[in-house]
Amino acid sequence: MSERAIQPICAFDIGKDGKPIPINSAWPSAEAGSDVAYRWLHFDTAEDALGVWTEEFLPPSAHTALRQAETRPRCTHVEEGLILNLRGVNLNPGEEADDMVSLRLWVTKGLVVSARIRKVWALDEIRQKMERGEAPKSIDLFLAELTFGLTQRIERIAVKLEEEADAIEEDALARPKDVSEILAQCRQSVIKLRRFIRPQKEALVALADNQAWPLEPRAAAMLSETANKTTRTVEALDATHDRLLATQDHLDILHASALGRNSYVLSVVAAIFLPLGFLTGLFGINVGGMPGVESPMGFWIVTGGSAVIGIALFAIFRFAKWL
């Protein structure tokens, strides 16, 4: 039987002095040594052996949570551990920032297991720091640093959307015909972000308030600030959404007003030409006894009469303030 092997994206033991030590085992266990503060194992969900590894070392709930195809931000304490699902903006090359990337974590007193489908830059920043010999000294500080990095990047995108909303509002007044497409794209981005950031705020608030996981004071303070930043971001996105909706309503009113004005003009024109059409239809019938058929002035008499009727109707509409 061949030796089992798994290839994590990264694997570190963090000593009690905060020094990260790379793990080179082909099949690392989920147990940290007595001289280690905690162990961090980071996987790609596409790793073939991940299902076998999680089934061997983790509780059933963690095994299922780490391998879910779709996740929603949550913070749940189960079986002496913490299931933490988070979302971050997609900063990968060629991707849309609002197509948020998911991050799944299983946390115990001495272990952090994380899994992702696409690269999460906030977590990758921690990986790079560990490769340079720097690491959060505890799991609580690891969570605090991770959530702060995720929230900071989300906040930047939210500010960018606010600036886009400012530009759209100005263009809606100056060039209303040119903003429909960019307005729709901006609204779609805001909707996508709000879908995940609102439950993420609830998860971070639960984590910061020690509702799901007891935190050391320093990490609790950092997480509390991160939860506040997330709350402000949600409020900013709500305000941006309302502003874009108001701008859309303004454009709809302009469109409806233009459509109504055009329809009104067409109705007035039809009202003027309706009796003229009746006259031309009446004099166009080919039956005997039609007056003026033999008269050389018949055509000009009918034309002049039609012109007089048209001018009279136009004058009546102006006098009635219909024009």
pLDDT of 273 reads 76
User: Do residues 72 and 159 both lie within one domain?
Assistant: yes
Residue whose entry in the numeric block shows the structure tokens 């089992």: 4
pLDDT of 260 reads 80
pLDDT of 106 reads 96
User: Do residues 140 and 230 both lie within one domain?
Assistant: yes
Q: How far apart are CA 62 and CA 168, in angstroms?
A: 45
Residue 1 lies in a domain: no
Domain end (from 207, 233, 253)? 253
User: Do residues 226 and 277 both lie within one domain?
Assistant: no
Q: What DSSP line would sit under 35-58, residue for residue?
A: TEEEEEEEEETT-TTHHHHHHHHS
User: Do residues 160 and 200 both lie within one domain?
Assistant: yes
User: Do residues 158 and 188 both lie within one domain?
Assistant: yes
* Sequence-separated (6 or more) residues with CB below 8 Å from residue 314: 272, 323
pLDDT of 274 reads 78
Cβ atoms of residues 6 and 27 within 8 Å: yes
Residue 85 lies in a domain: yes
Domain count, the chain: 2
pLDDT of 286 reads 66
User: Do residues 248 and 307 both lie within one domain?
Assistant: no
* CB atoms closer than 10 angstroms to residue 226: 25
**CA distance from start to end of the chain:** 93
User: Do residues 180 and 311 both lie within one domain?
Assistant: no
3-state per-residue secondary structure call for 92-146: CCCCCCCCCEEEEEEEECCEEEEEECCCCHHHHHHHHHHHCCCCCCCHHHHHHHH
Q: How far apart are CA 189 and CA 318, in angstroms?
A: 49
Domain end (from 232, 253, 274)? 253
Cβ atoms of residues 140 and 215 within 8 Å: yes
* Amino acid identity at 25: S
Residue 296 lies in a domain: yes
User: Do residues 135 and 175 both lie within one domain?
Assistant: yes
User: Do residues 216 and 267 both lie within one domain?
Assistant: no
Residue 233 lies in a domain: yes
Q: How far apart are CA 140 and CA 121, in angstroms?
A: 19
Q: How far apart are CA 209 and CA 215, in angstroms?
A: 9
pLDDT of 255 reads 80
Cβ atoms of residues 141 and 147 within 8 Å: no
Residue 115 lies in a domain: yes
H or E segment to which residue 76 belongs? strand 74-78
CATH code at position 171: 3.30.460.20
CATH code at position 272: 1.20.58.340
Cβ atoms of residues 179 and 252 within 8 Å: no
* pLDDT tens-digit map of 242-251: 999 999 988 8
Residue 5 lies in a domain: no
User: Do residues 48 and 195 both lie within one domain?
Assistant: yes
Cβ atoms of residues 13 and 39 within 8 Å: yes
- 3-state SS assignment for residue 73: coil
Domain end (from 225, 253, 281)? 253
User: Do residues 182 and 315 both lie within one domain?
Assistant: no
H or E segment to which residue 227 belongs? helix 217-283
pLDDT of 292 reads 65
* Sequence-separated (6 or more) residues with CB below 8 Å from residue 280: 302, 306
pLDDT of 268 reads 75
Retrieve residue 271's tokens: 């009202």
Q: How far apart are CA 270 and CA 188, in angstroms?
A: 42
Residue 163 lies in a domain: yes
Task: State which residues form the domain around 272.
Answer: 263-319
168: left (phi over 0), alpha (psi -120 to 50) or beta: alpha
Residue 4 lies in a domain: no
* pLDDT tens-digit map of 289-305: 667 666 777 778 777 87
180, with CB counted inside 10 A (0-12, 13-18, 19+), is middle
Give pLDDT tens digits along the chain (323 positions): 347 899 999 999 999 888 999 999 999 999 888 889 999 999 999 999 999 999 999 999 999 999 988 899 999 998 789 999 999 999 999 999 999 999 999 999 999 999 999 999 999 999 999 999 999 999 999 999 999 999 999 999 999 999 999 999 988 888 777 788 899 999 999 999 999 999 999 999 999 988 778 889 999 999 999 999 999 999 999 999 999 999 998 888 888 887 887 787 777 777 777 777 777 776 776 666 667 666 777 778 777 877 888 788 778 777 777 66
Q: How far apart are CA 205 and CA 218, in angstroms?
A: 16
User: Do residues 140 and 27 both lie within one domain?
Assistant: yes
